[in-house]
Chain A
Amino acid sequence: MRIAVLLSAGRHAVSGRPAPVPVELQAIRLAHDLGGEVTGLHAGPDAAPLKDTLGHGLPRLVHHRITVADDPLPSLAAALIEGAFDLVLAGRTGQGGEDTGLLPYALARQLSLPLVPDAAALAEGPQSGTLSVEQALPRGARRRLVVHVPALVTVHPAAPAALPFAFAAARRGAVEARPGLVAPRAPTQIEERPYRARPKLIAKAAAGASAAERLKAATEAASGGGRLLVDPLPEEAAREILTHLRDIGVLRSR
């Protein structure tokens, strides 16, 4: 299977220095475990921060050189058509750029590939030419989907951890530079300013509110006092509790 992993130029979450995006390293691991020929693709002005990805199990990285003002979409689309890949893996969202997670969707649309979001595990499908994707849902649940390849799959942070960095592999790996396509970005109305943390509107849920506020939110009743049963028979109490749990939908009736 020929697999392409899309790698963006990220920034470290804490230091802000150029670094690979963790979820894309996890994508490399998923591709590595699936087996086959894995190629990294990057479109951007500089591939130096992505050298580290070679140490995390990526044998080959193709860098399409474009300027900062260019849109990476046409370059990546052209590279994916030329490479005729069976599977394209991307991160859920980047880290350090726009961080919208829109690029894989636009790319899938342009190449008319089916897109499967939030993969936590990949395996060969039941028939040949299919892929079974385990999708990460909130609260530890999963959804197993089967799609035809070629497909584009985005990877969720719940996927297995990235392969550890190996210096020899990083030296062995090759970065190939090619010219990208010139495609100036469309102007937007967006204004940018330095990030300012704003007070959370909902003090109840705020993680950063003051200690007194959090204590108040934590200790006061959720809905102004609920139902109260004083000294019921154990059977009556059990019945009440079960009906309440069914009413709020946490108890799946078997």
Chain B
Amino acid sequence: MTRPRKNPRTERAAHRVEGGARPRFDLAATAKETGRPRRDPRGEERLALVPGTARRRLDRTQRIAATAISQAPAPSAEAAPTVRIIAEPAYLVAVVPDASGGRLTPHDRQLLGAARILADAGGGAVLALAEADDLASAGADRVLALPVAGYDPEAKALAVQAILAGLDIRHALFPESPDGGDLARRLAAMTGEELFAGAESLSPKAVTRAAQGRRIEQRRAPPRLISIKADAVAAHSGARHEARPVEFGFPAIALGAILSADFIPADPAKVSLAEAEFVVSAGNGVSDFNAFRALVAALNATPGASRVVCDAGLMPRAAQVGASGTVLEANCYFALGIAGAPQHLQGVARCEHVVAVNTDLHAAMIERAGLAVVADAQQVMPALLKLLDKEAGG
């Protein structure tokens, strides 16, 4: 699309043969390129033209076209990741992530980011007290799993107390989540130490929190026990850390007072859209709503819809996702035949994973998605149902 910019004067000067009274030119000599290459606006426009649409449409970002050509992501970029090793830490900063199911939540990553701030201020290392994949890239130097099975917060608190007493731990950070906040408070009651609960900002010099119904801000130097609210500190984004497992001799821990604990998963059909974990949503590209409802039930998800579908009365208004509907907190959003208008995408902004099926390669939803499939939703839905059926049967 670009070709070299031609400058006849410099070309002429380059062909010119030195010496002699009359000017002589050697046309075989090649002129060296000068300056910026010349743009070809028509060629650029031809490339940006979206094929297969009735109206003339240009997509100037060219991101999609580029990824479409290079199908598989090149693994060469992460061939040699640099690992930062802190061999002799001056102290440890312990982190107790929730890591439910061996997976770090965004809140856990922010917690590790906060721990890195406190550790890097004085040559310390971060000790993660949980087993999860990805601890290295989240910024953990040492990993130590707690010997607690099932739901037993009292035993977990005793294990963390043993670590606080046995290792040189300057700070211990907890997420201000239901389980993390509970553990932090148990530990504070157990050790009699002060807990700075629900910190909203953190630096090596000071932590702050809101009190008295957000009328007062409390502030002090970081104490040993701190619990941190979600979205208060940025996650670690620098080099990987080694996440080396360490050994620790835990004392024998008596069982807690809880006689039995059963997990009751939320009923996805009843849970409100704002609380849902996994939302499957239909847009104007879906015409087979029986297949859509069957798919939602088969995937054990909560149904959602775009505004066009709700306006048409095909789905209830309570199912509308977006700026004038519900803003989701879901972990995963599966969009079928949704274009991805800004009003709709605002509702999906907090979803970590997006999967999109759309016939239009240049839809904004395709660009937003972690897995984008350019296909007809009416054919993908039955195929998904058939596959799920086969798996359940076999």
Contacts and interface: CB of A to CB of B under 8 A. Distances in A.
Interface of A: 10-11, 13, 16, 95-102, 105-106, 108-109, 114-118, 125, 130, 134, 136-148, 151, 188-196, 198, 200-202, 204-206, 214-215, 217-223, 225-232, 234-235, 237-242, 244-245, 248-252, 254
B151 A143 contact: yes
Interface string B336-350: 000010100110111
A229 B372 contact: yes
Contacts of B283: none
Contact of A242 (B231, B350, B361, B388): B388
A220 to B, nearest CB: 8
A230 B374 contact: yes
Given A140-B271, A251-B300, A145 B178 contact: no
Contact of B299 (A146, A191, A251): A251
Nearest to B331: A250
29 contacts: A11-B213, A100-B211, A101-B185, A102-B188, A105-B185, A105-B186, A106-B189, A109-B190, A114-B154, A117-B178, A134-B264, A139-B266, A144-B264, A190-B218, A191-B220, A204-B349, A218-B348, A222-B353, A228-B71, A229-B371, A229-B372, A235-B387, A238-B380, A241-B357, A241-B371, A242-B384, A244-B371, A245-B334, A251-B299
8 interchain residue pairs of minimum CB distance: A114-B257, A140-B266, A226-B370, A234-B383, A140-B271, A238-B383, A218-B349, A105-B189
Contacts of B256: 114
A217 B234 contact: no
Interface of B: 63-64, 67-68, 71, 73, 101, 103, 110, 151, 153-154, 177-178, 181-182, 185-186, 188-190, 194-195, 197-198, 200-201, 210-221, 230-234, 256-267, 270-272, 275-278, 299-300, 329, 331-332, 334, 340, 342, 345-346, 348-355, 357, 361, 364, 366-376, 379-380, 382-384, 386-388, 391-392
Given A101-B185, A105-B186, A221-B367, 7 more contacts: A96-B213, A130-B259, A140-B271, A228-B68, A238-B380, A248-B370, A251-B278
Contacts, number: 258
Contact of B181 (A99, A101, A215, A221): A101
A157 B118 CA distance: 33
Contacts of B264: 134, 141-144
A232 B383 CA distance: 12
A95 B181 CA distance: 17
Contacts of B370: 222-223, 226-227, 244, 248
Nearest to B157: A105
A252 B350 CA distance: 22
A139 B219 CA distance: 32
A193 B216 contact: yes
A102 B188 CA distance: 8
Contact of B231 (A144, A192, A202, A250): A202
Main secondary structure of the interface of B (DSSP, over half): mixed
Contact of B182 (A117, A142, A229): A117
A228 B66 CA distance: 11
Nearest to A200: B231
Contacts of B220: 188-191
Contact of B212 (A97, A115, A138, A239): A97
Contact of A195 (B214, B232, B353): B214
- Listed residue (A147, A214, A227, A235) with the most chain B CB atoms within 10 angstroms of its CB: A227
Contacts of B373: 229, 232, 237, 240-241
A218 B342 contact: yes
Given A109-B189, A189-B220, A219 B364 contact: yes
A138 B371 contact: no
Given A96-B213, A99-B213, A193-B216, A147 B372 contact: no
Given A138-B178, A139-B271, A200-B231, A214 B366 contact: no
A229 B374 contact: yes
B212 A11 contact: yes
A241 B372 contact: no
B346 A214 contact: yes
Given A139-B271, A148-B257, A215-B342, A192 B67 contact: no
Contacts of A240: 371, 373
